[in-house]
Amino acid sequence: YEAAGVIEAVGPGVTQWSPGDRVAALFGLPMDRYGTNGEQIVYPADMLVAVPDEQSLTDAAASWMQYGTAYALIDLGHIESGDAVVINAASSSVGLAAIEIANNHGATSIAVTRGRGKAEALKAHGAAHVIVSDEEDVAARIMEITGGKGANIAFDAVAGQPLAALLSAMAP
């Protein structure tokens, strides 16, 4: 899904873009039809955004996906003010975006990271709570933070074994 570049040609009826324009591709199209892994791609004009001259194409390509993924908190999780939201892999770009979205919706962000070295950075980024999974019982800490109620939403970008700890600490 991540792509940015310079338009070489436009199709019939495309008026908002011209050859030479710097653009980034938005996410959300089927990858089997609109894959972005190539030197040249064909992409719908209405799924492009302009890239400012001061932004590198690499940065432009990498600036959308983490927020698009974390948007699941809104679209699927129906996040609300007051929700306790556990965010696994919190120091990843997707995790950081999820912290921002949770905070912007008035939720309590509970960041889960494996190492103590990332805890302060997560707090500085706005995580209300940080759990270091290599040192703490994740489920027990979630229950402690939520006063025994459990988390309303678990945002897990990792899956696998850590998911079991999150599931056991969910609110009904």
Is residue 115 a contact partner of residue 132, using CB atoms and an 8 Å limit? yes
Cα-Cα-Cα-Cα torsion 27, 92, 37, 53, nearest 10 degrees, comes to 70
| pLDDT attached to residue 11 | 95
| pLDDT attached to residue 111 | 98
> Given the structure tokens 């932004």, which residue do they identify?
55
| pLDDT attached to residue 1 | 79
Is residue 7 a contact partner of residue 21, using CB atoms and an 8 Å limit? yes
| pLDDT attached to residue 112 | 96
Note the pLDDT tens digit of each residue in 130-170: 999 999 999 999 999 999 999 999 999 888 777 887 888 99
Give this prediction's pTM. Answer: 0.80
Inter-residue long-range contacts of 3-10, CB under 8 Å, 24+ positions, other chains counted: 3/36, 3/41, 3/43, 3/61, 4/51, 4/57, 4/58, 4/60, 4/61, 5/41, 5/57, 6/57, 8/40, 10/45
CA distance 42 to 38: 10
| pLDDT attached to residue 27 | 84
CA distance 106 to 108: 7
| pLDDT attached to residue 81 | 97
Mean pLDDT, contiguous 10-residue spans, the chain (172 residues):
94 97 92 89 95 96 87 93 96 95 98 95 98 95 97 89 85 92
> Given the structure tokens 């975006």, which residue do they identify?
97
CA distance 143 to 148: 5
Question: For the chain, where are the E strands, in sequence order?
Answer: 4-6, 22-25, 48-50, 84-87, 108-113, 129-132, 153-155
| pLDDT attached to residue 99 | 98
Query: Which tokens hold the place of 76?
Result: 């699927």
